[in-house]
Amino acid sequence: GQQLNQSPQSMFIQEGEDVSMNCTSSSIFNTWLWYKQEPGEGPVLLIALYKAGELTSNGRLTAQFGITRKDSFLNISASIPSDVGIYFCAGQKETSGSRLTFGEGTQLTVNP
């Protein structure tokens, strides 16, 4: 089953607002990934984090790898309508080989 707790489950915001979502786990991950999925499509990688404490940006997106290696957050600044979708965190453990564990997802709705 899922081992990553992602919150919030859904968000309804106005265009231009900033968004923050996070994932936590009771166990340590050595890689954190953030994906966006649009209806009927596969997930697309947004940001990859490889080191504890790492802060990485991709345009209006910023994500951080928590110091404890048990959490990560994703921020979206100045949201626009095309940011709509489901955002998933995913983690990879050193002990799980190459398998990824996914969070439950955050459904983002942006009102123009």
Chain positions contacting other proteins, by CB under 8 A: 2, 31, 33, 35, 40-45, 48, 50, 88, 90, 92, 97-100, 102-105, 107
Tokens 């936590």 belong to 24
Shortest distance in whole angstroms from residue 31 CB to other proteins: 5
Cα torsion through 59, 65, 70, 73, rounded to 10: -30
Q: Which of residues 12 and 112 has its CB atom nearest to other proteins in the complex?
A: 12
The minimum distance between CB 78 and other proteins, in angstroms, equals: 26
| CB neighbour list of residue 62: distance below 8 Å, 6 or more residues apart | 47, 55, 56, 74, 75, 77
In the bound state with other proteins, the residue whose beta carbon lies nearer, of 4 and 61, is 4
CB of 16 to other proteins, least distance (A): 27
User: In the complex with other proteins, which residue's Cβ is closer, 66 or 91?
Assistant: 91
Work out the angle at residue 35's Cα, subtended by the Cα atoms of residues 49 and 14, and round it to the nearest 5 degrees: 110
